[in-house]
A = this chain, B = another copy of it.
């Protein structure tokens, strides 16, 4: 529950239009508006938990600004990051009663929340809303299927190349990729250690496939080469 921090919440329906590039989920965003559902803005600081694994699903979330990681843990601390969520992305939508991954802010992050129950109600009346919910889940499944191929088959270098292309596609601004996550997060996403990620990036740098301006500001110099490497 968020009631203990209600002072931090500001109701804001205008946020909907901000920084949401054209994607399939826009339909869902529109639904949020059309159904006159109450969307609420909330801010999380770096590394703050947004929801926990097995927590009940009271809200559905959309990133407005910042970035989010969702992950599963094994009992000894090994972590698999399932996805990174960037501005415009919906996350935390579940069919069942509880979340199956933990969500944390990668950096200071602003999200819009909507009550899951109100979405349910809308979906029971409007088939288009029901379709939109299905669409969001189907999009996550598509990503998960691609990621299983990466985790089950690809080499370290192929994984890092695929990661860079994904980030380039999703958050490239002016040919520069500004990564919001550290090497450990990248490693836990790709099923590698942070050292292996670092070595692969260094190797790509040596081969003039990319340039750095600081460890997290990357310019891709040879996109086609990356595509070839990513297999």
Chain A residues packing against B (C-beta within 8 Å): 72, 74-76, 78-80, 82, 94-96, 100-101, 123-125, 127, 130-131, 133-135, 137-142, 144-149, 151-154, 188, 190-191, 231
Q: Which of B130, B140, B152 contacts A141 (CB 8 A)?
A: B140
Q: Tell me whether A74 and B149 are in contact in the complex, defined as CB-CB below 8 angstroms, given that A133-B134, A134-B134 are known contacts.
A: yes
Interface residues of A, dominant DSSP:
helix
Most-contacted residue by chain B among A130, A141, A148 (CB, 10 A)? A148
Cβ-defined contact, A145 with B145, below 8 A:
no
Contact of A130 with B138 in the complex, beta carbons under 8 Å: no
Q: Which residue of B lies closest to A190 (CB)?
A: B152
A141 with B137, Cβ < 8 A, contacts A131-B123, A231-B75, A231-B76 known? yes
- What CA separation (Å) do A147 and B151 show in the bound complex? 10
- Closest B residue to A94 by CB, please name it: B138
- Assembled-state Cα–Cα distance A127/B151 (Å): 36
A74 cross-chain contacts in B, Cβ below 8 A: 149, 153-154, 231
In the A-B complex, the 6 residue pairs with the closest CB atoms: A95-B138, A152-B191, A144-B144, A151-B151, A130-B130, A134-B134
